[in-house]
Amino acid sequence: MGTHFPMTRPINDTLLRALLRQPTDTTPVWIMRQAGRYLPEYNQTRARAGSFLALCRNPNLATEVTLQPLARFPLDAAILFSDILVLPDAMGLGLYFVEGEGPKFERPLREEWEIRDLSAPDPDNHLRYVLDAVAQIRRALDNQVPLIGFSGSPFTLACYMIEGEASRDFRWVKSMLYGRPDLLHRILEVNTQAVTRYLRAQIESGAQAIMLFDTWGGILSSPAYREFSLAYMQRVLQELPREWDGHIVPRIVFTKGGGLWLEAIADCGCDAVGVDWTVELDSAKQRIGHRVALQGNLDPGVLLSNPDTVVREVARTLAAFGPGHGHVFNLGHGITQWTPPENVAALVSAVHRESRRYHNPG
């Protein structure tokens, strides 16, 4: 399995130390969706690729766009350029993109026989292009900063697989959850096996930290969240290697809208909990900061303003976490395509400058 990339510690390992709540001189920063449409160079590479999916499936171009934000900004990590939906695509659901409408599946899971026939793909065969990109990015990074690998959570993937596209009301998912929970559990079982294999292969190929994106966990009731989302993320983390080549591989779990369940998330086997902008960082730190690191949580909308406002909001976010280690600065969700790059430059600079006082008091 995988290419077994040696897990050498990067020169700038601030992110890895922060995720494990070890001392750092500054608060590390990376940005969800940091390689994206807000960067002119990304749009040029995407145009050369011909489509978003072609870009994902080309390891050379995926490496190129992964590195683009690091060439512009002194970020503390790279994150693999890919999409959470390449995994269900490898399960035969037929992923395609409609301009202006986002991802869709040709064959959403609605029939019982389709769900019974579903199986987890072998990442070495069906997702080789992702693993090749991971290994290539690691080589290109030349040990400067760590590389984050990722997957969608079993439940979030199931939402797309059942609805066939992004949804406002999740009609099909909720109907199955309450009407045929056995079928939803069957999908989640397969997804858990698929996500575990996929993340393990990313670690073997060179990913130095991993993240589970539970984008749609927040649509659930509290009992349903624990049964259909959190329980399966916990199983993924139990099955993944804790260390690779003698180094701990930190795990981040992010449930958008999951502020109600921070304590339960902190108990699932992760090293860091991502929080969105609806959660106060000081409150989150008080609730779970003694157990896990926190990642977040600037509202991406702040980046639509101006550099002065960005600097002010960065300072406010850092102050909310306050003194101590175990904070990774990030947005509360992905950066939007309308963000001016100069605002990102202001954010990264401000995080590094303003956070020193919280790590080296006096």
**Catalytic-residue membership of 308:** no
**What does DSSP assign to residue 91?**
I
Pick from 264, 243, 242, 247: nearest CA to 255: 264
Marked catalytic residue, from 21, 46, 57, 251: 46
Q: Which of 17, 21, 33, 197 is catalytic?
A: 33
What are the backbone dihedrals phi and psi of residue 99, each rounded to the nearest 5 degrees, phi first?
A: -55, 125
Question: What is the Cα–Cα distance from 205 to 338, expressed in whole angstroms?
Answer: 33
Q: Which of 353, 361, 350, 278 is nearest to 325 (CA)?
A: 361
**Gap between the Cα atoms of 63 and 282, Å rounded:** 36
The amino acid occupying position 288 is I
| Amino acid letter, residue 311 | V
84, two tokens = 């959470």
**Contact, 195 vs 157, CB < 8 A?**
yes
CA–CA separation, 202 and 207 (whole Å): 6
Identified catalytic residue from 38, 42, 160, 198? 160
Q: Order of strands, edge to edge, in the sheet holding 78-79? A: 78-79, 147-152, 209-214, 251-255, 272-274, 293-298, 327-331
For the chain, the residue count is: 362
Strands (E) in the chain, as ranges, are: 78-79, 95-98, 102-105, 147-152, 209-214, 243-244, 247-248, 251-255, 272-274, 293-298, 327-331
Cα separation, 343 vs 349, in Å, equals 10
Set 37, 72, 287, 312: catalytic member: 37
Distance in angstroms (rounded) separating the CA atoms of residues 170 and 156: 11
13 SS3 class: coil
Gap between the Cα atoms of 2 and 206, Å rounded: 9
Residue 46 is a catalytic residue: yes
Active site residue 96: no
Residue type, 329: F
Structure tokens at 4: 């077994």
* Positions marked active-site: 33, 37, 46, 83, 160
